Structure 1
Amino acid sequence: MCTPIAGKLTPVPRTATFERPVSGGDALLSIGCLLIGAIAVVAAVVLLVGVFDLNWVLGYAIPLATAVFAVALWQSLSRRGWTWKDLQLTSGPRSLWHLLWEVPVAWIAAMGVGIALAGAVDIAPASDAGGSASTLDALDVGVVAGTLTIVCTVLIAPVLEEVLFRRVIFGWFDTRTRWQIAVLGSAVCFGAVHVLPAIALIMVCIGSAAALLVRLHRSLIPGIALHTMNNAVATAAVVAAI
């Protein structure tokens, strides 16, 4: 888009979602640390299975993975000079009170579209969109494992994943292409890590909704709120079914 100035057209500067731009080095180091962390978690689980009961290891897998993810992500960003302020965990130009209706509406719409798409391509609807299988494993082990898993799934993991997928990956796309492509690109990356086709498809829709809210508010808080709601609903459904 251009505006006429002094008889010639000049491009209108795009409004970035975040104040600090994401460099290629930021994105590569964050993703690299995540991959290394994932390998470390798998290796730890394999080693622990040889010492402890398999159910016990699986019960604590989510807390272990969350702790490793948190350390890896923070180390990668801090080494690049990032601070808490750069994450933009603050209110933007739009009041966060709007999230009281925006988050539920966005979640319902995203889930509806995701389930409809899964049905259209003949993929069985996902029953583990919030990590329900891992929650069941943890609850089988005991109260401590179950509580830690629920806290990690509902409160901690959404923050970490939103930092990676919305602040870093969406932020990287956002400074290099149209915001619509940034929304879809970051959402596809978010869905891809969930592996199973039905879950991945629904998570692409959830990720798109989260990115749209982040873009609208110029803040990471709306994405965290939507992500937390999704995981909380899935976890509550699992606990209620026991």
Structure 2
Amino acid sequence: MAGLVVVVLLGLLAARAAGTGRPDTALLALVVLGGTAVAALVAVRVHLLRRRGLEWADVGLRRPDRSPWHLLWQIPAVMVAGAVVSMVVLVPLGTGPEGSDDALDDLATGGPAFVLLGLLAVAVLVPVAEEVVFRGIVLPALRARMTAVPGIALAGSVFAVVHLIPPALPYLLVVGVSLCAMAQWYRSIVPGIVLHGVNNAVVFGAVVATGAA
């Protein structure tokens, strides 16, 4: 991921030196979002799985132990709970969940092609990468040192904080903790990927709709 950032920065400097100006922000956002997700998965494959002789199933990409039909109630329950907690926490502070991700804003206003590619990135690539990292690696590492509740709470908190969107922190905390609990319950990160993808698609759809309004 650090290498990807260096490449993007070098590309910006090269474009400026060539007199072509700054690249399109939507293209830059797509490269950063999609590129970091792919880079994270490659890093996991090369530096963790291959070196330790592990398979993707060892980080949770395996058949769930429980029926995925539970997602029919879990997805709306988690999203509604996140929205309620956000209102309870933010309204007394005189603010609201307006925090946005600049990358999503850039993709949403970049035209139909970038909206479609952005949806693919935020609803497929990003959920897979984040679930592998946070629920497939971070959560088991913490659970090996803690009991269930502290481990799940800490792993969910880490997930929320690294997004660096303070107004969305209550919502992200609910989602992060819920995804950790689901990973333990299903013994798989696949259902969490589905929930994560649906959530991101809804958020991105809302950003697109707001930009079109």
Q: Which TM class, normalised by the smaller chain length?
A: 0.7 to 0.9
User: Which of these residues, 74, 93, 97, is aligned with residue 125 of structure 1?
Assistant: 97
Please tell me whether residue 40 in structure 1 is matched to residue 6 in structure 2: yes
Q: Distance in 1 between matches of 2:7 and 2:175?
A: 26
Amino acid at match of 1:40: V
Cα distance change on mapping 1:166 and 1:122 into 2, 3 Å: farther
Please tell me whether residue 111 in structure 1 is matched to residue 111 in structure 2: no
Deviates more, 1:93-102 or 1:194-203: 194-203
Please tell me whether residue 61 in structure 1 is matched to residue 33 in structure 2: no
C-alpha displacement of 1:208: 0.9
Amino acid at match of 1:159: V
The answer as to whether partners of 1:138 and 1:145 remain within 8 angstroms in 2 is: yes
Unaligned runs of 5+ in 2: none
The answer as to whether partners of 1:37 and 1:68 remain within 8 angstroms in 2 is: no
TM-score, normalised by the number of residues in structure 2: 0.82
User: Which of these residues, 181, 184, 187, is aligned with residue 218 of structure 1?
Assistant: 187
C-alpha displacement of 1:113: 1.2
Aligned to 1:189: 158
C-alpha displacement of 1:201: 3.0
Name which one, 1 or 2, has greater alpha-carbon Rg. Answer: 1
Amino acid at match of 2:13: L
Aligned to 2:61: 89
Q: What's the CA shift string for 1:115-137, capped at 9, x where partnerless? A: 32223444432342xx4x43342
Counterparts of 1:138-157 in structure 2, within 5 Å, are: 138-157=107-126
Unaligned runs of 5+ in 1: 1-33
The answer as to whether partners of 1:114 and 1:205 remain within 8 angstroms in 2 is: no
The size of the alignment, in residue pairs, is: 204
Q: Distance in 1 between matches of 2:43 and 2:160?
A: 24
**What's the C-alpha RMSD, in Å, of the aligned pairs?**
2.5
The answer as to whether partners of 1:123 and 1:197 remain within 8 angstroms in 2 is: no
Amino acid at match of 2:124: L
Q: Distance in 1 between matches of 2:168 and 2:107?
A: 21
Amino acid at match of 1:84: W
Cα distance change on mapping 1:180 and 1:77 into 2, 3 Å: farther
The answer as to whether partners of 2:37 and 2:125 remain within 8 angstroms in 1 is: no
Q: Distance in 1 between matches of 2:163 and 2:14?
A: 24
Cα distance change on mapping 1:55 and 1:146 into 2, 3 Å: farther
Q: Distance in 1 between matches of 2:203 and 2:179?
A: 17
The answer as to whether partners of 1:37 and 1:72 remain within 8 angstroms in 2 is: no
The answer as to whether partners of 1:115 and 1:202 remain within 8 angstroms in 2 is: no
Among all aligned residue pairs of Structure 1 and Structure 2, give the percentage whose two residues are the same amino acid: 25
TM-score, normalised by the number of residues in structure 1: 0.73
Please tell me whether residue 198 in structure 1 is matched to residue 161 in structure 2: no
Counterparts of 1:8-47 in structure 2, within 5 Å, are: 34=1, 36-37=2-3, 39-40=5-6, 43-44=9-10, 46-47=12-13
Q: Distance in 2 between matches of 1:92 and 1:139?
A: 34
Q: Distance in 2 between matches of 1:95 and 1:85?
A: 18
User: Which of these residues, 65, 70, 88, is aligned with residue 98 of structure 1?
Assistant: 70
The answer as to whether partners of 1:173 and 1:182 remain within 8 angstroms in 2 is: yes
C-alpha displacement of 1:219: 0.9
